[in-house]
């Protein structure tokens, strides 16, 4: 196989069946499109892989020893099953009009929610636990530019046992949400071509997760979580208020986790695609609903002064 042939790889190429061990040392794959290719078991010693497209490629078992030009993300792909373990659980549909990109605003939403659904995979079965979280935004390297999500779950919860070290994880933070009736739209009386929808805010954090049992780390996590929720009280409770032996026993009953945040995707669906009149009607309708979620969505939909987020 000639070097130039590599540039014709397509989704039907099965590289694990090609004699690459002997015929492709130092192969130049820069710029090659390997979308959908299956490279399991392939041997590409010293290959130049800069700018290679690896979308949906399956690299399980591929030997890329000495390969250069790969980003850390692509190296992570090579170690796994063809999906970037930092993002494989993190895909979420976000139309441009609904994208929330201000990370300070995102951080405010996370702090207000205070908890997230931590999702991992056990074999082929997704597993999820609602857990309180702290988002430490301090970057911890190129693979976790958005810091860490910290939290804990019960030691009796099997999720931490079934998730392999550094496996892909997804943490979903839910903000306010509410039903939007088409009867509130001004356009209902104009042409009637309206349907119900659901407005909400949601934030997805994705990255590798690790679980740990170190007592000092666990104490640090529960202390930060406690301080976060107690600091506004006139007489805040502190971890040190409880007897040390009692606290030590409870720490043995939990497992800490750290999700290295490779990506943050935030969605704020607030009828941005509707006319000002329809939005005003929806806000008024929401104000008349009895639940707190509707009131919160109405507040978020309310027009903000220029420059205010």
* Mutual angle of helices 276-287 and 292-301, in 10-degree steps: 150
pTM for the whole structure: 0.70
Q: What's residue 164's pLDDT?
A: 86
Q: What is the largest CA-CA distance in the chain?
A: 74
Q: What's residue 3's pLDDT?
A: 43
Q: What's residue 7's pLDDT?
A: 39
Q: Is the pLDDT of residue 167 over 70?
A: yes
Q: What is the pLDDT of residues 2-11, one digit of tens each?
A: 444 443 343 3
Q: What's residue 152's pLDDT?
A: 98
Confidence of residue 49 (pLDDT cuts 50, 70, 90): low
Q: 3-class secondary structure for 83-148?
A: CCCCCCCCCCCCCHHHEECCHHHHHHHHHHHCEEEEEEEECCEEEEEEEEEEEECCCCCCCCCCCE
- Mean pLDDT computed over 110-125: 93
Q: What is the pLDDT of residues 54-89, one digit of tens each?
A: 443 444 444 444 555 554 444 444 444 334 433 445
The alpha carbon of 140 is separated from its chain's Cα centroid by a whole number of angstroms, namely: 16
Confidence of residue 31 (pLDDT cuts 50, 70, 90): low
Q: What is the pLDDT of residues 246-299, one digit of tens each?
A: 999 999 999 999 999 999 999 999 999 999 999 999 999 999 999 999 999 999
Which range, 69-73, 128-132, 164-168, has the best average confidence (pLDDT)? 128-132
- The CA-based angle 196-197-200, given to 5 degrees, is 155
Mean pLDDT value across the chain: 80
Provide the Cα torsion 260, 265, 266, 267; round to 10°: -150
Provide the Cα torsion 299, 305, 308, 309; round to 10°: 30
Q: Is the pLDDT of residue 19 over 90?
A: no
Confidence of residue 29 (pLDDT cuts 50, 70, 90): low
- Mean pLDDT computed over 116-123: 93
Cβ-Cβ contacts under 8 Å for 302 (sequence gap 6 or more): 283
Q: What is the pLDDT of residues 184-222, one digit of tens each?
A: 999 999 999 999 999 999 999 999 999 999 999 999 999
Cα 25 to Cα 154: distance, rounded to the nearest angstrom: 49
Does 197 or 43 have the greater pLDDT score? 197
């Amino acid at each position: 196989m000639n070097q130039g042939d590599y540039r014709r790889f397509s989704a039907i190429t099965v590289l694990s069946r090609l004699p690459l061990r002997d015929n492709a040392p130092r192969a130049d794959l820069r710029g090659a499109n390997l979308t959908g290719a299956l490279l399991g078991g392939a041997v590409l010693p010293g290959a130049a892989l800069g700018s290679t497209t690896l979308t949906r490629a399956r690299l399980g078992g591929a030997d890329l020893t000495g390969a250069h030009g790969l980003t850390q993300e692509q190296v992570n792909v090579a170690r796994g099953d063809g999906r970037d373990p930092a993002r494989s659980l993190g895909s979420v549909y976000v139309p441009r009009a609904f994208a929330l990109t201000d990370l300070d605003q995102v951080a405010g939403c996370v702090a207000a929610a205070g908890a997230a659904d931590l999702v991992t995979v056990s074999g082929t079965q997704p597993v999820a636990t609602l857990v309180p979280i702290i988002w430490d935004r301090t970057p911890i390297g190129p693979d976790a530019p958005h810091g860490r999500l910290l939290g804990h779950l019960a030691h009796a919860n099997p999720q931490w046992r079934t998730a392999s070290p550094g496996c892909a994880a997804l943490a979903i933070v839910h903000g306010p949400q509410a039903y939007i009736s088409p009867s509130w739209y001004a356009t209902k009386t104009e042409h009637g071509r309206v349907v119900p929808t659901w407005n909400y805010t949601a934030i997805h954090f994705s990255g590798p997760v690790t679980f740990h049992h170190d007592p000092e780390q666990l104490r640090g996590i529960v202390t930060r979580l406690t301080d976060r929720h107690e600091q506004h009280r006139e007489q805040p409770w502190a971890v040190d208020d409880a007897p040390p032996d009692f606290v030590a026993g409870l720490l043995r009953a939990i497992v800490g986790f750290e999700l290295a945040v490779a990506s943050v995707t935030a969605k704020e669906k607030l009828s941005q695609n509707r006319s000002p009149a329809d939005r005003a009607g929806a806000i008024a309708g929401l104000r008349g609903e009895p639940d707190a979620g509707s009131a919160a969505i109405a507040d978020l939909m309310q027009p903000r002064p220029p420059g205010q987020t």
